[in-house]
Amino acid sequence: MQLAITHADFAPAIADTARALPARPPAPVLAALKLAAADGALTVSGFDYEVSGQATVKADVTDPGTVLVSGRLLADITRALKPKHPITLALEGTRLLLTSGPTRYTLHTLPLEEYPALPTTEEATGTVAGADLADAVAQVATAAGRDDTLPVLTGIQLELADGKLTLASTDRYRFAVRTIDWTATDTAVETATALLPAKSLTDTVKMLAGADRIRVTLPGQTGVLGLADAARATTARVIDGQFPQYGKLWPARETINAITIVDSGELAAAIKRVALVAGAGRPVQLTVTDGALSLDAGSFDDAQAVDTLDAQYDSGLFGDFTIAFNSTFLLEGITAIDAPNTVLWMTERTKPAVLTGADAKATLDAVAFGGDALQYLLMPIRLSS
């Protein structure tokens, strides 16, 4: 194998496919990247039996061939090279020579026959905007569980229905749900669900975030999700199991008894301030009155903190309204919503509340409940009297 390629093409291809490499490979060959040169292109592939990544870029190929080299090492080398120099790759026996300007590396190759075949997918089911999918995955991944002993709760569910693609995650204490537009390419598939590991899906969509449209192949008999654009392709194996049904947890609009709108940046800063006396993950109590939102953390027997912000408030049936949340979960929800204002929709102090976003000029009579934007349902914490 021998080829020449620009740093601008080579570096992103290596960085993107290296995302598929496992942190602790079960076999040495799975720590490698496969480089295949032919027909004026270089294809770089990575695979760990769960996730695969593949990038194809232009290259001046003088001698077609395929090699397998250490992925982490190649990624580190590529980051260290000077972008102004083109890169040449040449296979000499069992060694790969990489040259970039005055810099030269000799890399050990691994046996190709031991490398597994990458999974294949069926024809695309539909397409979504690359930026929409990347944003949606990043937002809902916030609520995914981290406990690997409960794999279903570490996933993000993709559900196709009514011409929309809905993503959802939960760790049992909160749910994050976001819906994006879907363009069908296989009209025979009107509904489908798939549960993917949140970390894997987050890593794979980063490869494609800049794509105008992403082709999505929902899992069929193979149990593999496929995402691709013109130059990148990724796959991820689904999680076996039933994702929790969250529809019944969501309050209906007519049951909402209190609504407040508050500046997101000010609310996040206030949570951080009062949480200093209680610690991350401890309860923070919110009390909404006409024109103000008060935050209270700590205990009478220890340090306490109170902070007050301006807020719009519709008192509904209850007048002043008090509810408490895990401070970390509340803060992560505000961050994930990523909007100038945060809207809290509440029914009772012991029932889940829903957080949504709103623009800077939002008013109580103009905000809408539901919709496609991120909805973050958060379980309250019951405090003793």
As a whole number, the mean pLDDT across the chain is 93
Going from the C-alpha of 159 to that of each of 134, 167, 168, 214, the distances in angstroms are 16, 6, 8, 16
Residue range 298-308, pLDDT digits in tens: 887 789 999 99
Residue 21 has pLDDT above 80, yes or no: yes
Residue range 268-316, pLDDT digits in tens: 999 999 999 988 889 999 999 989 999 999 887 789 999 999 999 987 6
* Average pLDDT, integer, range 138-152: 95
Residue range 196-223, pLDDT digits in tens: 999 989 988 888 888 999 999 998 777 8
Residue range 159-195, pLDDT digits in tens: 999 999 999 999 999 999 999 999 999 988 899 999 9
Q: What is the 3-state secondary structure (H, E, C) of 78-140?
A: HHHCCCCCCEEEEEECCEEEEEECCEEEEEEECCHHHCCCCCCCCCCCEEEEHHHHHHHHHHH
Residue 385 has pLDDT above 60, yes or no: no
Residue 138 has pLDDT above 90, yes or no: yes
Residue range 55-65, pLDDT digits in tens: 999 999 999 99
The confidence score (pLDDT) of residue 221 equals 72
Which helix (H) or strand (E) covers residue 334, if one does?
Answer: helix 327-337
Taking the chain, what is the end-to-end CA distance rounded to the nearest angstrom? Answer: 74
Question: Residue 25 — φ and ψ, nearest 5°?
Answer: -65, 135
Residue 249 has pLDDT above 70, yes or no: yes
In this structure, are strands 155-161 and 164-170 parallel, antiparallel, or unpaired?
antiparallel
